[in-house]
Copies of this chain bind each other. A is one copy, B any other.
Amino acid sequence: MPAGASGLSRPEGGPAATARHAVTAEEVARRAGVSQSAVSRAFTPGASVAPRTREKVLAAARELGYRPNAMARTLITNRSRIIGVVMAYLDNMIYPDVLEKLAAGLQRRGYQMLLFTGFKDRHSDPVFEQVMQYRVDGLLLASTTLSSDLSDECTAAGVPVVMFNRMTEHPLCSSVTSDNRNGGRQIAEFLVAGGHRRFAYIAGAAISSTNRDREAGFREGLSRHGFSQIGYAEGNLELGDTRTAARGLFAADEPPDAVFVGSDHMALAVMEVARHEFGLRVPEDVSIVGYDDVGAADWPSFSLTSFSLPVEPMVDAAVELMMEQIESSSILSHHRVVPGCLAVRGSARLPGGPVRDRDGTLIWAPGGME
């Protein structure tokens, strides 16, 4: 017996009703005195129906409570107007935001969202089999870690795949990411300019392209200034692991004076450990920088300096890419990299003067970005 069965309950039940047969176009047609195809046309935008006929149909439909059956329509049009969205877990605070914006974007174009999530531990394959049976028009993969052959199967089945917040070498997948590499590098520049000397990186999912690029950018930026030996630990996008990682770093003989954490979600946990377990002041004793710029980063308690993941433009790009492929019924491989910027707050020591990227781009300047 599940725990939920305990507690107060009203076993008496209450009123009951039995499922009614759904109204069909046929019935509406009879009532409106037209043919069944007329009903279909009345509900098809842009179909050629006399205004008077359409009126009659809509009236009859309203009276009967008719709603076109999307399943039947799918069967014949070969378009479900459903997009499968795969997000293994939602604990990174950006995902709820992505989900909301994505749903809104798809809805606006008349698409629905079939969501697959909550299989952190279990394997994703059975899940995937299910998605495909629903003949989704497209698949959006938004977990940084997911078996890549999943996308193989999709493209083989002619279903366009858009990767969100991750890249792939797969030749027939599109992707939308933030500018991870640049972000990592700009953070390095910023921290070096801030006078730090002992750096560390805490990785998310080490195998993901997202983590790989952020780390690569960070190392690249550091090595430009001669720092090639840095502390390293893996948080695996998981709070427990992240805390362990942070403890290891801070307990070292030469603890870092600047830590770049691969995502805000983890960075906040690192900050907690630094302050409450090691009594470190941020940023006086250690600077902490994250990536994603989640809402909580801006809370006074954290005031986390972070490189932004531009969710809205990324979602827009993803939806656009998806629609393009659905409409052209061809699978292309487009990769969009959406630029972000460093949101400078209080968790990292401020540099004395302006900071520029290697190409001259202004990353930060005292007193605001002019």
Contacts and interface: CB of A to CB of B under 8 A. Distances in A.
Interface in A68-85: 68-72, 74-75, 78, 80, 82, 85
A51 interface: no
Contact of A70 (B110, B135, B332): B135
A46 to B, nearest CB: 18
Contacts of A313: 2-4, 6
B114 A113 contact: yes
B103 A339 contact: no
A107 B96 contact: no
A57 B4 CA distance: 42
A13 B334 contact: yes
A335 B116 CA distance: 28
B317 A2 contact: yes
A296 to B, nearest CB: 8
A314 interface: yes
A75 to B, nearest CB: 5
Contact of A103 (B117, B131, B317): B117
A211 to B, nearest CB: 19
Given A71-B134, A119-B107, A129-B67, A334 B14 contact: yes
B130 A117 contact: no
Q: Which of A14, A65, A85, A102: most chain B CB closer than 10 A?
A: A14
A91 B96 contact: yes
Nearest to A337: B8
Contact of A96 (B69, B71, B96, B302): B96
A226 to B, nearest CB: 28
A352 interface: no
A315 B5 CA distance: 11
Given A4-B313, A301-B272, A118 B103 contact: yes
Given A7-B339, A99-B118, A100-B117, 19 more contacts: A2-B317, A4-B313, A4-B316, A4-B320, A4-B338, A7-B338, A14-B332, A18-B329, A19-B329, A71-B75, A82-B134, A90-B97, A96-B96, A100-B118, A107-B116, A107-B130, A112-B114, A272-B299, A301-B302
11 contacts: A3-B313, A4-B320, A8-B339, A67-B133, A69-B75, A72-B75, A89-B100, A95-B96, A100-B117, A104-B122, A113-B114
The 10 A-B pairs of least Cβ separation, nearest first, read A4-B317, A14-B333, A19-B158, A4-B313, A104-B118, A3-B313, A90-B96, A100-B118, A276-B300, A2-B316
Interface of A: 2-10, 13-20, 22, 65, 67-72, 74-75, 78, 80, 82, 85, 89-91, 95-97, 99-104, 107, 110, 112-120, 122, 127, 129-135, 155-159, 171-172, 176, 179, 239, 268-269, 272, 275-276, 295-296, 299-302, 310, 312-318, 320, 329-339
